Amino acid sequence: MDATSSSRPQTAIVDTQRNSDLVLLRGLIRSRYHWMLFPKQLQHYFPQQRLLLPELAGNGERYRERTPFSINAMMEDLRQQVYANSDPTPKILIAISMGAMIATEWARCHPQEIQQLHLINTSFGNLSLPWQRMQAPAFLALLSRLHSRTALEKGIVRWTINIQHSPALIRQWQSFAQQHPLSYRNALAQLIAASGYRGPRTAPVNDTWLYNSLGDRLVNSNCTRAIAECWQKPLHTHTSAGHDLPMDDGEWLAQRIFCNSVAQED
């Protein structure tokens, strides 16, 4: 499905999936802070449902903690955090990049806890080649900036966001990185875990959708397509957004997540 302009639904269906909580999972060396406006855009379509934004150990507000070295351990860390702050009802997982690997692992190990999966710009080691999962120009450019948090944040904005980004956004992300410094050890743990993750050959839950961006310069868009084809699940493609689809066109993404949820309930 190509990106097209469309208006918002006139009314939101407030009982979608019995008001399941929506859990948002971010990606490699990103914090829940980096969702920016997307939770508000999503909340417009799900006004009666709670949005939960857990933070992975080692990132953002939890920067002093140690990141686990496996996707499974990361999943259990986030899962415990979610259920410590919510009821035991099944959740709707909305996840990007490495976060989508964590969401997949959660659904694989605890399918009874997941109502829906919405996976954005992600990849599995058993379905895509290493140089597709992290494209060389972006990898080398970001690697060269690891010496400086301010330089790294500027590079992340450059390589993951395609829209016109303001110097103010870069300064904002740089300030956050200075106040919540990511350690080399935790960055390495996340990189090792993501690079080694091999996903299941079939969708772990039936209600699963995937979303990719043709303008993704960090991860080849065919990586998400490969998962959709292997699982035989719907794929929604944005024709111009970059890797950080929620930043580039959060309205487009929120609307499609909502429409898929409603269609499934009907």
Question: Are 250 and 163 a contacting pair, CB within 8 Å?
Answer: no
> What are the tens digits of pLDDT across the range 239-251?
999 999 999 999 9
Answer yes or no: is 213 within a domain. yes
Answer yes or no: is 6 within a domain. no
CA distances from 209 to 20, 63, 104 (A): 17, 31, 12
Answer yes or no: is 96 within a domain. yes
> What are the tens digits of pLDDT across the range 135-146?
999 989 998 898
Answer yes or no: is 3 within a domain. no
The residue ranking higher by pLDDT, 2 or 30, is: 30
Answer yes or no: is 1 within a domain. no
Q: What pLDDT is attached to residue 147?
A: 85
Mean pLDDT of 217-234: 98
Mean pLDDT of 10-39: 80
Confidence band for 11, pLDDT divided at 50, 70 and 90? very low
Q: Is residue 189 over pLDDT 50?
A: yes
Answer yes or no: is 8 within a domain. no
Provide the residue range defining the domain that includes 70. 16-265
Q: What pLDDT is attached to residue 264?
A: 67
Neighbours of 140 (CB within 10 A): 10
> What are the tens digits of pLDDT across the range 45-93?
999 999 999 999 999 999 999 999 999 999 999 999 999 988 999 999 9
Question: Are 88 and 178 a contacting pair, CB within 8 Å?
Answer: no
Enumerate the β-bridge partners of residue 22.
51, 92
Q: Is the dihedral of CA 45, 47, 48, 49 positive or negative?
A: positive
What's the chain's average pLDDT? 92
pTM to 2 decimal places: 0.92
Query: In total, how many domains does the chain have?
Result: 1
Q: Is residue 15 over pLDDT 60?
A: no
Question: Are 215 and 240 a contacting pair, CB within 8 Å?
Answer: yes
Q: What pLDDT is attached to residue 143?
A: 87
Which residue matches tokens 């417009």?
Answer: 44
**CATH code: domain of residue 209:** 3.40.50.1820
Mean pLDDT of 80-109: 96
Answer yes or no: is 195 within a domain. yes
Q: What pLDDT is attached to residue 4?
A: 41
> What are the tens digits of pLDDT across the range 113-172?
999 999 999 999 999 999 999 999 998 999 889 889 999 999 999 999 998 777 899 999
CA atoms of 235 and 3, how far apart (whole Å): 12
